[in-house]
Amino acid sequence: MKKSIIKSTGMFVPPNVITNHDLEKMIDTSDEWIKQRTGIEQRYWIDGETGASDLGFEASKIALENAGWTAQDLDFIIFATLSPDIMFPGSGCLLQAKLGLDSTPALDIRQQCTGFLYGLATADAYIKSGLASKILLVGGEVHSSGLDKTTRGRDITVIFGDGAAAVCIEGVETDKQAGVLSSALHADGNLASALMTELPASRLPIRLPRDISLDDPRYFPVMDGPAIFKKAVRMLPKVIKESLEKAQISLDEIDLIIPHQANMRINQALGQFLKLDDNKIFHNIQKYGNTTAASIPIALHEAMEQGLIGKSGDVVLFTGLGAGLTWGSVIYKFL
């Protein structure tokens, strides 16, 4: 059977660095609070008109070059984002056109922080079913243009960053145990309101209500941070265990855990719960903040560049929880 093999990665963040001190000038917050509660020191925000597909395009060019592929080699594109460039069509279609293509199928995934996990599981299913063999999986977000940059929105505004990463995935015929070994995905829509942006809403008679001020909090993301924090600390170990059982491997066989970068404290708590050495969990939230669908592939790109993983036989476990709520874990073994 064909295995889903990561051929290459690429990442891109916009050039505009926003430090915690920059945020202190905007809202009532402090570098100390942000670092202590989240681990974040800086993030990148776009400057001017830039969509998720623009960031994704830059990351894709790097991933394609690293794979030795051209865009014409692709037979499927998956774009994970919660911040599409426009209401519709999806950022996957916009990216496809930017890549100079005009008929390659493009699918958008709206799974927020687990977008990469759902995307990787989808790519694996497409490859194993024979529907595709050369897939570009992209996670890209532009949060900064939709944040409440007043003290009212400070809990969320300080955590989100913009960025994108792309992964080229190829179906390779091999008897070796390699590629995506297991995926465990979950969602609980009953908790949708724990993290959401409500407007514009197609369920309303008028999607952009004219009588509502543009300062209305419903136009901005709102989050019950402590509830999500507790849920993450409870659910991530469970879903990791589920994915290990599905793959029939033990935690000791995992070389590196790459969690979604939502909060350094969530990932440290995860490490303590699993009794892991500090170097077994990858952190880069200090540089990028929470880039949502881009966070796991950006971390994958950096972990590979740093030589932490990527050798034949290395096993990496991706995991995360976010809006939806959605959570999951995917285990991957390098060929």
Residues forming the site for ligand ACO (CB under 6 A):
29, 33-34, 37-38, 82, 112-113, 154-155, 158-159, 195, 225-226, 228-229, 232, 262-263, 266, 290, 292, 322-323
Active site residue 260: yes
The smaller minimum CB distance to ligand ACO, of residues 96 and 290, is found at 290
User: What is the gyration radius of the CA atoms in the chain, in angstroms?
Assistant: 19
Residue 316 beta carbon to ligand ACO: minimum distance, rounded to whole angstroms: 20
The smaller minimum CB distance to ligand ACO, of residues 4 and 144, is found at 144
Residue 155 beta carbon to ligand ACO: minimum distance, rounded to whole angstroms: 4
| Catalytic hit among 113, 143, 267, 284 | 113
Residue 119 beta carbon to ligand ACO: minimum distance, rounded to whole angstroms: 15
The smaller minimum CB distance to ligand ACO, of residues 9 and 290, is found at 290
| Catalytic hit among 260, 263, 284, 301 | 260
The smaller minimum CB distance to ligand ACO, of residues 33 and 334, is found at 33
Residues 6+ apart with CB under 8 A from 67: 7, 8, 168, 170
The smaller minimum CB distance to ligand ACO, of residues 34 and 95, is found at 34
- End-to-end Cα separation, the chain, in angstroms: 14
Sign of CA dihedral 291, 295, 297, 299: positive
Residue 176 beta carbon to ligand ACO: minimum distance, rounded to whole angstroms: 35
| Catalytic hit among 20, 267, 284, 290 | 290
The smaller minimum CB distance to ligand ACO, of residues 48 and 226, is found at 226
Contact 304, 93 (CB under 8 A): no
Quote the crossing angle between the two packed helices 264-273 and 31-38, to the nearest 10°: 30
Residue 80 beta carbon to ligand ACO: minimum distance, rounded to whole angstroms: 12
Residue 111 beta carbon to ligand ACO: minimum distance, rounded to whole angstroms: 9
Residue nearest to ligand ACO (CB): 322
Contact 297, 116 (CB under 8 A): yes
List, by residue number, the catalytic residues: 113, 260, 290
